[in-house]
Amino acid sequence: MKFINVPDQTYHWGILDREVYLAFWIVLFSLLGLYLLGKIRFPLDDDYPVQKSWFRFTLAVFVFTFVVYMIPGMFGAPLKAISGWLPPMTTQDFDISAIVRNESGNGGGNASTYQWTEEPMYADKLEIPFGIKGYFDYDQALRVAKKEGKPVFLDFTGHGCTNCRNVENAVWIDPEVRRIFAEEVIVCTMYADDKVIPLPDSESGKLKNADGDPITMLGAKNRHIEQTLYHENSQPCYFVVDPDGNILSGPTYYERDKDKYIKFLREGIDKYNSKLKDQQSN
């Protein structure tokens, strides 16, 4: 299921949303639990009562416990322990937590009040989790940052990146992190493994990859930027940069400690504000 999910996300097939994925796992693990209890047998299985095997019985208890744990995920529970293996929360059709955030006027920290300086490119195909508002194109994010006078939070991620989902579910869901994303930075999420979103005609072919071939797809552009401008090749990879793309803090990678993550964000934001203050005084 995991390896079906990866191409489903990168090619935008839309086969496995989060509920469908969880439904498969709930059914499969329920069947496994019944098999361990001897309720399901295959033609070549020996007749061995489960009561004589404490190992099988104990394993069945853990399997059914896992099934019960997954059920709230059908209604939008984050399921942090396995979130990296699941499709992203943005594919969830019915998310109670998102409904509550929207009804309370606090959708992702900025969903209800955020005013777009520019409409984000590719927003019809891409989304940032937890209602966080941001951009998906590097050049557009820098341009907006100059207009708004803010630094840019660069999120190099991937549809099939398990560690990216783990960080998002452990850190990005925190109210303070979402407040920083909403008020103090321009968020730019860059999918490095996207296979199907083309660049607009005005950009297509202007950049060349390492082999000299023209870059025509968004995923290839994002990989090129990460590798050539920031000398990184991993996801997740996070930077805070100024509106000219100069690094203020980072890189930070698989960081699930909320306090350390906020410290990384604050370092970049404080450097930018200090730099801006110096420019204004001069």
d(C-alpha 269, C-alpha 36), whole Å: 54
Query: How many other CB atoms are there within 10 angstroms of residue 233's CB atom?
Result: 11
Helix axes 138-148, 218-229, angle to 10 degrees: 70
Does the structure show a pLDDT above 50 at 112?
Answer: no
Side chain identity, residue 246: N
Helix axes 54-70, 18-36, angle to 10 degrees: 160
Q: What is the pLDDT of residues 16-68, one digit of tens each?
A: 888 999 999 999 999 999 998 888 888 877 776 666 778 888 999 999 999 99
147 CB-side CA count, 13 A: 10
Instruction: Give me the CATH code for the 105-281 domain, please.
Output: 3.40.30.10
d(C-alpha 75, C-alpha 38), whole Å: 31
Q: What is the pLDDT of residues 125-172, one digit of tens each?
A: 898 988 899 999 999 999 999 999 999 999 999 988 889 988 998 899
Query: How many other CB atoms are there within 10 angstroms of residue 270's CB atom?
Result: 14
Domain with CATH 3.40.30.10 in the chain: 105-281
